[in-house]
């Protein structure tokens, strides 16, 4: 095994860990913390601290996903070329990831602002972390399908 195989293996592992932490953290936030926050406003200071820690974790996860994703993408396209279907689903996965990153940024920014005038802020209030959770699950499904496409192409 040469050094490039170690780098690819480590990149894949980091990508899985980063995505799992982000999706798992979003699940906890969406399904547990957000409902508690809405029913118990007396925990306002606690949720400020949770939001600060959650933001740090999400920022680290985004960096990990971006770096490891670029490494893995270049590894895939520099070897034997994957089929066209693989590129289509990779584009869909990247597009959904960009949407999730934007929604996460808007939701975290909303914590510090009180304006609710824009359409995007109203949609993020309506869907919020639940949409991020759903899109994240779809991205995991697409990642599995990408792997299946590659395995069937061998």
For the chain, the domains span: 3-153
Q: What is the pLDDT of residues 56-99, one digit of tens each?
A: 888 899 999 999 999 999 998 888 889 999 999 999 999 999 99
What is the separation of C-alpha 36 from the centre of its chain, rounded to a whole number of angstroms?
23
Q: Which residues of 20-44 are buried (b: 16+ CB within 10 A; e: fewer)?
A: ebbbebbbebbeebeeebeeeeeee
Query: How many C-beta neighbours within 10 Å does residue 121 have?
Result: 16
Residue with tokens 């496409």: 149
Give dist(CA 1, CA 64) in Å, integer: 24
For the entire predicted model, the pTM comes to: 0.81
pLDDT of the residue at 49: 85
Q: What is the pLDDT of residues 33-47, one digit of tens each?
A: 878 877 887 877 888
What is the separation of C-alpha 149 from the centre of its chain, rounded to a whole number of angstroms?
22
Q: What is the pLDDT of residues 133-147, one digit of tens each?
A: 999 999 999 999 999
pLDDT above 60: residue 111: no
Give dist(CA 154, CA 35) in Å, integer: 47
- Are 65 and 19 in contact by the 8 Å Cβ rule? The answer is yes
When pLDDT is cut at 50, 70 and 90, the band that residue 120 belongs to is: low
């Amino acid at each position: 095994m040469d050094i490039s195989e170690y780098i690819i293996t480590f990149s894949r592992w980091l990508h899985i860990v980063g995505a799992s932490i982000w999706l798992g953290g979003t699940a906890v936030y969406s399904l547990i913390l957000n409902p508690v926050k809405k029913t118990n406003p007396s925990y306002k200071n606690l949720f400020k601290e949770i939001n600060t820690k959650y933001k740090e974790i999400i920022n680290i996860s985004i960096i990990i996903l971006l770096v490891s994703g670029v490494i893995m993408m270049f590894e895939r396209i520099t070897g034997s070329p994957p089929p066209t279907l693989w590129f289509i689903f990779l584009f869909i996965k990247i597009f959904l990831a960009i949407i999730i990153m934007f929604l996460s940024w808007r939701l975290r920014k909303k914590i510090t602002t009180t304006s609710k005038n824009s359409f995007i802020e109203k949609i993020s209030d309506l869907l919020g972390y639940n949409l991020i959770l759903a899109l994240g699950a779809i991205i995991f499904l697409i990642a599995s399908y990408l792997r299946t496409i590659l395995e069937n192409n061998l």
